[in-house]
Amino acid sequence: MPETTVNSGDKGAQADDRVASIPDWVDPRPWLPMAHHATADDVERALCAVSPDENTLAALLSPVAAASFMEHMARKAQMLTREHFGRTIGLYVPLYLSDYCCNGCVYCGFAADRHQQRRCLTPGEIRSELAAIEREGFEEILLLTGERMPQADFAYLRAAVAEAARRFHLVTIEVFPMTTDEYRQLAAAGCTGVSIYQETYDPARYLELHRWGPKRDYTNRLATPGRALAGGLRTAGLGALLGLNDPQFEMLALYRHARHLQRTYWQAGVALAFPRIRPQAGNWQPPNPVGERALLQILLAFRIVCPDMPLNLSTRERPGFRDGVAGLAVNKMSIGSRTTVGGYAQDAENGIGQFVISDDREIDAFLAALSGKGLQPVFKNSESVYRNAS
Ligand code: SF4
């Protein structure tokens, strides 16, 4: 695997420095008073809501819900998780293809001003890594890069997707924003879904945290999941990085974003993730840290208002917490994760990666923990069974 030192002085073009407007379809502000000041009656009504909406979520995210209704929320969330997902936990593996990046995201270990060795997998290395992951039995893989760079551009990504699609039934990407036509080409190459997190839905905070580079464009990023679905990808994963801003603001905006996509692309699947800031190169401290209990409340609230939506929790969280929420509210998890480039076919650990993971259990240990809770890890989903039969 070749190693190269990135020239972090080339930070990409400066984007517009004006604060973008938050569109009405995602703006959470009308529901913030409920999120901050709901009464016990509001929470009780939310727990009985037949058609959950923004008011329901706001009440369930409130301080009074945290203080007095967590057990009730947990019972309801678990019942809904079992009703819609059974006792299954869908599993996937992330594979970092490249850590070259020209962006200045203040919270990220791959930001251009982090002086470190950068790497990009060669085509041969990609094949080796994919084969190593396939041998573990997985059928879903998530390919990751930083910003679009000469070392990992669209052609490179398309070739990696095509290679992955030869081995895996589900190939999703968490990379740089693209045009609708580029997403169309990726869909033709076998890409099935995209994850693209807004990080923060507050345009002013967004501008402050994304110091330079193409990612500084709030509006472009907000429109990206829609372009991906318009280009033919079947699923879009959304999320906000917890810790960057008021979590109630962020979670209500995330909910509104998901519902907007469901209304616009009714045939597509929308999934949600709840990453929290982790230690990273640069040691940046989040202004609005979210504790485990607050994260639990968020997961329970989303399961209640979005009973059939996949909720994803990564190895950012510690083993005990992941085991506790698996099957309670969460139905999808990453496993065996590396946040450095490569690392499955050979020992490629190099620094702390994009962030420090918290659950570093081997795959067998994680599967044993799920089985011990009566949960069934799912490597192969019903869609792949259908594709095999067709
Ligand atoms: S979060 Fe993504 S775009 Fe931002 S610096 Fe890290 S790798 Fe680059």
In a domain, 247, yes or no: yes
The two structure tokens encoding residue 269 = 């699947």
**Contacts made by residues 42-48, CB under 8 angstroms, sequence distance 24+:** 43/68, 43/69, 46/304, 47/72, 47/73, 47/76, 47/304
The two structure tokens encoding residue 66 = 């945290």
Encode pLDDT of 267-313 as tens digits.
999 999 999 998 776 788 999 999 999 999 999 999 999 999 999 99
In the structure, what pLDDT confidence band is assigned to residue 108 with cuts at 50, 70 and 90?
Answer: very high
For 284: left if phi > 0, alpha if psi spans -120 to 50, otherwise beta; the answer is beta
In the structure, what pLDDT confidence band is assigned to residue 14 with cuts at 50, 70 and 90?
Answer: very low
Residue 6 confidence (pLDDT) above 50: no
Report how far residue 203's alpha carbon sits from residue 163's, in angstroms, rounded to the nearest whole number: 37
Mean pLDDT in residue range 206-218: 97
Residue 338's pLDDT is 74
Residue found under tokens 């293809």: 97
Distance 107 CA to ligand 1 centre (A): 9
Count of Cβ atoms closer than 10 Å to residue 153 Cβ: 13
Domain count of the fold of the chain: 1
Residue 343 confidence (pLDDT) above 90: no
Distance 100 CA to ligand 1 centre (A): 9
Report how far residue 212's alpha carbon sits from residue 208's, in angstroms, rounded to the nearest whole number: 10
Distance 379 CA to ligand 1 centre (A): 28
In the structure, what pLDDT confidence band is assigned to residue 219 with cuts at 50, 70 and 90?
Answer: very high
Residue 189 burial by Cβ neighbours in a 10 Å radius (0-12, 13-18, 19+)? middle
| DSSP SS3 for 267 | coil
Encode pLDDT of 159-186 as tens digits.
999 999 999 999 999 999 999 999 999 9
Residue 5 confidence (pLDDT) above 50: no
Report how far residue 124's alpha carbon sits from residue 130's, in angstroms, rounded to the nearest whole number: 10
Site to substitute for ligand 1 among 96, 105, 107, most atoms within 8 A of C-beta:
105
Residue 337's pLDDT is 66
Residue 357 confidence (pLDDT) above 50: yes
Minimal-distance CA residue to ligand 1 atom 2: 146
Is residue 147 within 8 A of residue 12, CB to CB? The reply is yes
Site to substitute for ligand 1 among 103, 115, 212, 241, most atoms within 8 A of C-beta:
103
| DSSP SS3 for 218 | helix
Residue 222's pLDDT is 98
Minimal-distance CA residue to ligand 1 atom 4: 105
In a domain, 340, yes or no: yes
CATH code where residue 258 lies: 3.20.20.70
Phi, psi of 348 (to 5 degrees): -115, 20
In the structure, what pLDDT confidence band is assigned to residue 233 with cuts at 50, 70 and 90?
Answer: very high
User: Which of 5-14, 247-256, 315-324 has the weakest average pLDDT?
Assistant: 5-14
Residue 45's pLDDT is 98
The two structure tokens encoding residue 191 = 């890409």
Phi, psi of 197 (to 5 degrees): -95, 140
Distance 218 CA to ligand 1 centre (A): 14
In the structure, what pLDDT confidence band is assigned to residue 380 with cuts at 50, 70 and 90?
Answer: low
The two structure tokens encoding residue 139 = 């059928």
User: Which of 13-27, 238-252, 314-328 has the weakest average pLDDT?
Assistant: 13-27
Encode pLDDT of 132-158 as tens digits.
999 988 999 999 999 999 999 999 999
In a domain, 283, yes or no: yes
| Torsion angle (degrees, nearest 10) of CA 202, 205, 211, 212 | 20
Residue 351's pLDDT is 55
Residue 122 confidence (pLDDT) above 60: yes
In a domain, 200, yes or no: yes
* Index of the ligand 1 atom closest to the CA of residue 176: 3
In the structure, what pLDDT confidence band is assigned to residue 2 with cuts at 50, 70 and 90?
Answer: very low
Report how far residue 124's alpha carbon sits from residue 143's, in angstroms, rounded to the nearest whole number: 16
Residue 96: closest CA among 141, 155, 53, 36: 141
Report how far residue 261's alpha carbon sits from residue 45's, in angstroms, rounded to the nearest whole number: 27
Q: Over the chain, what is the mean pLDDT?
A: 90
**β-strands 311-313, 269-273 pairing:** parallel
Residue 246 burial by Cβ neighbours in a 10 Å radius (0-12, 13-18, 19+)? middle
Q: Where are the beta strands (DSSP E) in 254-331?
A: 269-273, 311-313
Q: Which domain, by its residues, includes 261?
A: 53-389
Minimal-distance CA residue to ligand 1 atom 7: 146
Is residue 102 within 8 A of residue 11, CB to CB? The reply is yes
In a domain, 243, yes or no: yes
In the structure, what pLDDT confidence band is assigned to residue 346 with cuts at 50, 70 and 90?
Answer: low
The ligand 1 site (C-beta within 6 Å) comprises 101, 103, 105, 108, 110-111, 146-147, 215
Q: Report DSSP letters for 283-301, one per residue.
A: -PPPSS---HHHHHHHHHH
Residue 226 confidence (pLDDT) above 60: yes
Phi, psi of 56 (to 5 degrees): -60, -50
* Index of the ligand 1 atom closest to the CA of residue 146: 7
| DSSP SS3 for 36 | helix
In the structure, what pLDDT confidence band is assigned to residue 1 with cuts at 50, 70 and 90?
Answer: very low
Is residue 367 within 8 A of residue 377, CB to CB? The reply is yes
Report how far residue 30's alpha carbon sits from residue 34's, in angstroms, rounded to the nearest whole number: 9
Distance 274 CA to ligand 1 centre (A): 17
Site to substitute for ligand 1 among 143, 175, 215, most atoms within 8 A of C-beta:
215
Residue 188 confidence (pLDDT) above 90: yes
Residue found under tokens 């073009």: 13
Q: Which residues contact 372 (CB under 8 A, 6 or more apart)?
A: none
Encode pLDDT of 32-78 as tens digits.
999 999 999 999 999 999 999 999 999 999 999 999 999 999 999 99
Residue 389's pLDDT is 35
In the structure, what pLDDT confidence band is assigned to residue 364 with cuts at 50, 70 and 90?
Answer: confident
Minimal-distance CA residue to ligand 1 atom 5: 111
Question: Percent of the chain, pLDDT > 90?
Answer: 79
The two structure tokens encoding residue 301 = 């609230």
